[in-house]
């Protein structure tokens, strides 16, 4: 693409970046991992709830849901690149820490809040697709003591496993 009066430097840079990424995707494929389809990405994107706060780039589920087929295709290429190279970009690992008031607690007490981290929406898509496609493998590799965010497990059981030895040691 040539730079002329019809396009600005920002557009030129974006076009150059897309071309570079496309070339990188073509030459960096790992054939051992199944390819994620645009249909899988679209279905995963549509599974997220609306009305949630934006990530640190101000992107919400609604932006991606209504971003059109071109956005889904680009996301699919990026996700396949991540899976094939087994490397999650650090940008997708960042987030915004937010205090959330615990139910029935005083707003003025700092101990009345729990911290959540709002991670990048595109990272959530990658995580959900990975979990959907690799649930059995994840279950086999994860510690039997892992209880939180594990289907069919209760974090209260993990708390019991931890508190019982502590209580015994203190008696």
* Length of the chain counted residue by residue: 171
Predicted pLDDT at 1: 46
End-to-end Cα, the chain, rounded Å: 75
Question: What is the predicted pLDDT for the residue at 20?
Answer: 67
Share of the chain above pLDDT 70, in %: 65
CA angle 134, 140, 144 (to 5 degrees): 130
Lowest mean pLDDT of 31-35, 47-51, 165-169, name the range.
Answer: 31-35
Is pLDDT of 71 > 70? yes
Q: What pLDDT, on the 0 to 100 scale, is given for residue 22?
A: 63
- 3-state percent breakdown (helix, strand, coil) of the chain, nearest 5: 55, 10, 35
Arithmetic mean of pLDDT over the chain? 80
Q: What average pLDDT does this structure show over 72-100?
A: 89
Q: Which residues contact 116 (CB under 8 A, 6 or more apart)?
A: 97, 98, 100
Identify the band that residue 75 occupies on the pLDDT scale cut at 50, 70 and 90: very high
Query: For residues 171 and 146, which has the higher predicted lDDT (pLDDT)?
Result: 171
Most confident of 19-23, 102-106, 146-150, 161-165: 102-106
Give CA–CA dist 147/159, Å, rounded. 9
Question: Which pLDDT does position 33 carry in this prediction?
Answer: 67
Is residue 21 exposed (0-12), middle (13-18) or buried (19+ Cβ within 10 Å)? middle
What pTM does this model have? 0.63
pLDDT at 11: 60
pLDDT of residue 130: 86
């Amino acid at each position: 693409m040539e730079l002329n009066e019809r396009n600005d430097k920002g557009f030129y840079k974006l076009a150059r970046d897309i071309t570079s990424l496309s070339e990188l995707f073509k030459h960096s494929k790992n054939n051992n991992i199944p390819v994620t389809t645009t249909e899988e990405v679209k279905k995963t994107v549509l599974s997220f709830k609306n009305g949630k706060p934006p990530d640190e780039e101000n992107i919400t589920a609604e932006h991606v849901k209504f971003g059109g087929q071109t956005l889904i295709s680009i996301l699919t290429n990026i996700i396949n690149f991540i899976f094939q190279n087994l490397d999650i970009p650090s940008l997708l690992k960042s987030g915004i820490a937010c205090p959330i008031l615990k139910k029935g607690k005083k707003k003025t007490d700092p101990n009345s809040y729990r911290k959540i981290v709002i991670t990048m929406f595109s990272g959530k898509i990658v995580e959900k697709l990975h979990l959907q496609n690799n649930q059995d493998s994840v279950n086999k590799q994860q510690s039997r003591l892992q209880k939180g965010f594990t289907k069919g497990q209760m974090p209260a059981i993990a708390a019991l496993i931890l508190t019982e030895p502590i209580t015994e040691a203190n008696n």
